Amino acid sequence: MEKIDLHIHTNCSDGSLTPFEVIDKALENGVTTISIADHDTVDAYSKELIDYAKEKGINLIKGVEISTKISKCGIHVLGYNIDINNTDFIEKLSKVRNARHDYLYNVASKLEELGYKVNTEELDKIEAVTKAHIALDIIGNKDNEKLLLKEFNTIPSKGLFIETIMNEGCPAYAKKESITPKEAADLIRLAGGKVVLAHPVAYSYEDGLTPGDIKSIISDMNADGVEAYYLYVDRDNNMHNDIDKWLKVAKECNKFVTVGSDFHATDGIHPEIGLPSLEIEINTESILKEID
């Protein structure tokens, strides 16, 4: 059975590996088809990378993960087999990405008011800066150690810091100009791509969305598929396998399903490229036909 992973991040957004290192890691893990789905950017897809993937025998499906917002929370939308040379798509995606930098300065101001030191200039050099970048900068800065220990009684994880300090309703929450899931879906289709709702399991645990809420989002953006094969790690580093639940939701909505590790870095906690810990057979041939 072919091994695929359609949700991998590189250092073009908030991942730790270069695009070339991702290819090498996939090869090492026995994965034959991958998609790099960086946040709001397709910069990883250079001609050199595409040639390198072919040379290594890796089927590289062009992808992206677009940040969107609904009234209750943020929603991520995956796009596959997109035309990365579509100028309208690139221009509109760039506007979404640039909104991240406006957000950076707004949230940095709030964090500084709380007493945290933020390396804003360095963070602004990151093309697709995210909450994760900002949180990692905060918790990795020795100047913040005393305040972090006071607030958390320990140095918190990235996820805990985001959920406690940066998310909606938290002291350093800053609104980010965003688009809706439907607008992201339209953008992906503009580039000839297939639209997939990313990790619905995360919205269930982090934002309290019900299967009914998820179905409404799927319907509103007329998604083609749902990322059902996904292992969720909560802020206490517990891994949850709710795959059967989301397979059922996808079936009820008559949508195909995809598989993704959402790999950012090797940390011994989150899934690796190819989900080697997931010991179930996946009909990868069917998935690849659907996103083609």
> Alpha-carbon distance 6 to 108, whole Å?
32
CB 99 within 8 A of CB 177: yes
pTM given for the model: 0.82
Amino acid at residue number 38: D
Distance CA(154)–CA(157), nearest Å, equals 9
Tokens of 88: 């309208």
Nearest Cα to 25, choosing from 232, 274, 279?
A: 274
Instruction: Give the whole-angstrom CA distance, residue 281 versus residue 115.
Output: 49
Question: What is the chain's pLDDT, residue by residue, as a tens digit (292 residues)?
Answer: 689 999 999 999 889 999 999 999 999 999 999 999 999 999 999 999 999 999 999 999 999 999 998 988 889 999 999 999 999 999 999 988 888 788 899 999 999 999 999 999 889 877 668 898 999 999 999 999 999 999 999 999 998 999 999 998 999 999 877 899 999 999 999 999 999 999 999 999 988 999 999 999 999 999 999 999 999 999 889 999 999 999 999 999 999 999 999 999 999 999 999 999 898 889 999 999 999 8
For residue 219, the one-letter residue type is S
Compute the distance between CA of residue 10 and CA of residue 56 in angstroms, rounded to an integer.
Answer: 18
Q: Which two tokens stand for residue 93?
A: 């995606």
| CA atoms of 273 and 60, how far apart (whole Å) | 14
Please report the pLDDT score of residue 276 as a whole number.
93
The reported pLDDT for the residue numbered 128 is 67
Q: Alpha carbon 251 to chain centroid distance?
A: 23
CA–CA distance, 23 with 112 (Å, rounded to integer): 38
Question: What phi and psi, each to the nearest 5 degrees, are found at residue 12?
Answer: -75, -20
For residue 256, how many C-alpha atoms fall within 13 Å in the half-sphere facing its CB?
17
What domains does the chain contain, in order, with CATH numbers?
A: 4-84+192-291 (3.20.20.140)
Distance in angstroms (rounded) separating the CA atoms of residues 286 and 76 = 23
Rounded Cα distance between 139 and 158, Å, is 7
Distance CA 141, CA 178 (A): 29
pLDDT at residue 1, rounded to an integer: 66
